[in-house]
Amino acid sequence: MASLKISTSEVFTFFDESSGETVNFFWKRIRESGLGFQRKDKLQKIFKQGKIRDDIEFDYVTDIMVAAKQDGTITREQAALLGEMLGAYEGQ
């Protein structure tokens, strides 16, 4: 049972942190199926915090920032702000 929980977590982490047509289709089907899972918007959480708190958030922002800017998920200004947050975290 524990391995099923880990596998489920890995799948949802992938779809939480990814973007694109397939990802949107996945979340649409999850909603339609009434499974009770919701997408977590980690970037908005980081913007609300105003800083990157730990290595996990640092790695997440590093991994997603360029793609999020390219696909329009974040603006140029938000990308610049994330860059500043990355720099501030590295300087700690």
The one-character DSSP state at 20 is S
Q: What token pair was written down for 62?
A: 């590093």
Q: What is the pLDDT of residue 2?
A: 66
Characterise 88 by phi-psi region: left (phi > 0), alpha (psi -120 to 50), beta (else).
alpha
Is residue 51 pLDDT above 90, yes or no?
A: yes
For residues 31 and 36, give the distance between their C-alpha atoms in angstroms, rounded to a whole number.
7
CA distances from 32 to 15, 17, 18, 25, 40 (A): 16, 20, 20, 10, 17
The overall average pLDDT reported for the chain is: 87
For residues 16 and 77, give the distance between their C-alpha atoms in angstroms, rounded to a whole number.
22
pLDDT-based confidence at 29, cuts 50/70/90? very high
Q: What is the pLDDT of residue 54?
A: 94
What's the predicted TM-score (pTM) here?
Answer: 0.70
